[in-house]
Each structure stands twice: as structure tokens, then as C-alpha cells.
Amino acid sequence: MRQGENPVKNKSEKNTLKPHRVIVVFYIPDSDDAYFKNLDVVLDKCLESLSKTINFESTNITLLNNNSSKKIDLVLDKYKDNIDKYVYYSENKGKIYAVINEVRGVFEPFVTIADADVLFYSGWEKAVFEIFNKIPKAGVVSPMPLPYLAIHFNQSVFANSLKGQIKYDKYVADYDIDLYLAGTNLPKLIDRKTKYNWKEKQFVLDQNNCISVVGAYHVISTYRTEQFRNIYTFPEIKFKNSYENYFIDSLADVKGLYRLSTIKTFAYHMGNNTDEVVLNHSYDDSKKIDSAFFKSIEPYKKQNALAIFIKRIMGRIFIKFLWNK
């Protein structure tokens, strides 16, 4: 039988809503497979870089543990004071289940979804939100240049070709392209069976004195959280290639929002090992975003469905025209 009244009920403390949340999902099993051998070190580098590059006054961190080995508890313990929310699943539900189950309930207007093999660079938040600030219809922004994903669920942005704001030329430095290739170890991603490959020329959006690469990547991207609202589809399959396409990547374009990325590299895809890029990485506190900067970013504005439909058709036409350049 209860005796007395819970004293917490009489407290008048308020919750604080920050503008940005970062969600990191990981699965590191007990396994003798060489692929998993160094993933605890990779996770450590990911969380270290994240902790050293965000402004905690404006950004919260959520960790999603998909039933990983107990050995990673030593890694997580190092960052426990930096973690706002920690979710542990008793079985590996798959990345999409864990992420979607979490992101649909996020209060913050912006959410970054990242795999646990991402190395964050100083200034990544500032670079990403500068694009959101200058381009109000930006819905997804990756902190690394991704020209090969220009048309991936991205018809809406190409309607800007009519205004001359979609340009195709050499904008991304060779260094940044090579750095991306080094992290992915997939050189075919930069190939293109046309006159120029992605290293030689890229599609960019030049709008409001801001040049961004057309294309974004679900391994690490920041989203306007609004695109996840009122969607209730259930990921029935735990592990399925390109599942992100349906549950994450396709959402921005149908709302008339753009998928973009930074001209310079502000994140590195480590994969399952640490290399010279990771081991020689350093940080600069002066490059952290000012929490007041978020106030200058326009909130999401719902667009007319017919206008979106027309712009996507226009974008599709321009893609067919531009794609063979």
C-alpha cells in the first residue's frame, strides 16, 4: 500500500528542447570473424570524434545498441556523461528497425543518423547547418561530398535547373574525392560511363551564395525531422539491402525537399578498421557551432502537393537531359 505522496510530482522542473539530436546505431557481436575484430576500436573513435566536435548546448546524443558484445561496455562507459539516451535491444533488430523506431519519436527539429564507423571532423555541424540556413528546402545534408548520388531520390532539386542554379563542373577537390574513396574502398562509385567521371565534374546547387553538392548518403546525414512524422510503415525484414531507400532516403523528395552534401569533407567513413586518416585525426574546438546559430534557420514549411508533383516532373525531365553530360 502506498504511503504518502511522491515528492517528485510537486517539482516544477521543465524539459529543455534542443534543436539537434545525433543518433548512432551499432552492432558489434562476439565473433571470431576478422571483419568484427576491430569494430570496438572503430566505435571508440566514432564516439570520441562525435563528443569532441558537437556543441552539447544545442545537440543531444542517442546510442542504439543492437545486442552487441559486452566487451563494448568498456567503450561506452568512457562516454556515458555525453550520452543523453541509450537504447539496448535484446536481439539484433537490424539497423532500420532500430533507427526508425527511434527517429519517429524525436522532438528535435533536426536529427543526424550515423553508422558507428563514421569519424566526425571539427566544424561538421557548422558546415551542415550553414546549408540548411542558406537553402530552406534542404531536407537532408551529408557532411561529405557525394556527387555520385545526385539523382538518388532527388528529383525536386533538379527543378532549379530552370533558374540556372544547378551547375555541372569541377567543384569538389580531388583530395575530398580521394578521401571518400579511401574510406569506402569502392572506386567504382566514382566511375561514370559518360564524358566525365565524378572526380572530374559534379552537379552542385548554387543558391543564396551557398554551393552544395547534389546528393546525400544514409551512412551519415542530417535530416529535417518533419519528414519522418506520421509515417507508420513497419520494417518486417531485419536485414535487407537498400532497405534505407524505402524507409529513409525516399522521404525528403516527396515533400519537395532536397538531398545535398558539403563541398568539403567533414566526416570520414572508417569501415571496420582504423587507418592513417583516423590515427592522425585532430580537433579544433573553435570550429564548434554556436548554439544561437540555429535560431537563424527557417523551420520546415509544408509545400503544396501539386507544386511538388510538378517540380518533380520538371526535375525528372532535367535529369534525363543533364545526365549524359
With a threshold of 0.85, does the pTM exceed it?
yes
Segments forming the whole domain that contains residue 121: 16-322
* 3, part of any domain: no
Element (H or E) spanning 131, and its range?
helix 124-134
The pLDDT tens digits along the chain (325 residues) read 777 777 777 777 888 999 999 999 999 999 888 899 999 999 999 999 999 999 999 999 999 999 999 999 999 999 999 999 999 999 999 999 999 999 999 999 999 999 999 999 999 999 999 999 999 999 999 999 999 999 999 999 999 998 999 999 999 999 999 999 998 888 888 888 888 899 999 999 999 999 999 999 999 999 999 999 999 999 998 988 888 999 999 999 999 999 999 999 999 999 999 999 999 999 999 999 999 999 999 999 889 999 999 999 999 999 988 887 7
For every residue of 63-104, DSSP letters joined together read EEE-S--GGGHHHHHTTGGG-SEEEE-SS---HHHHHHHHHT
Residue reference for cell 548554439: 291
Q: How much is the pLDDT for 323? A: 82
* Count of domains observed in the chain: 1
Helix (H, G, I), strand (E, B) or coil at 218: coil
Distance of CA 243 to the CA centre of its chain: 16
Calpha distance 214→203 (Å, rounded): 6
Q: Which residues pair with 211 in a beta bridge?
A: 206
Q: Is residue 11 part of a domain?
A: no
User: For the domain that residue 252 is a member of, what is the CATH number?
Assistant: 3.90.550.10
Determine, yes or no, domain membership for 141: yes
- What local confidence, expressed as pLDDT, does residue 4 receive? 72
Structural domain contains residue 8? no
CA–CA distance from 221 to each of 29, 274, 278, 319 (Å)?
Answer: 25, 21, 20, 23
User: CA-to-CA distance for 209 and 187, rounded, in angstroms?
Assistant: 32
Residue 47 in grid coordinates: 564516439
Does residue 181 form part of some domain? yes
Domain assignment present for 64: yes
What pLDDT does 171 receive? Answer: 97
According to the model, what pLDDT value does residue 324 have? 75
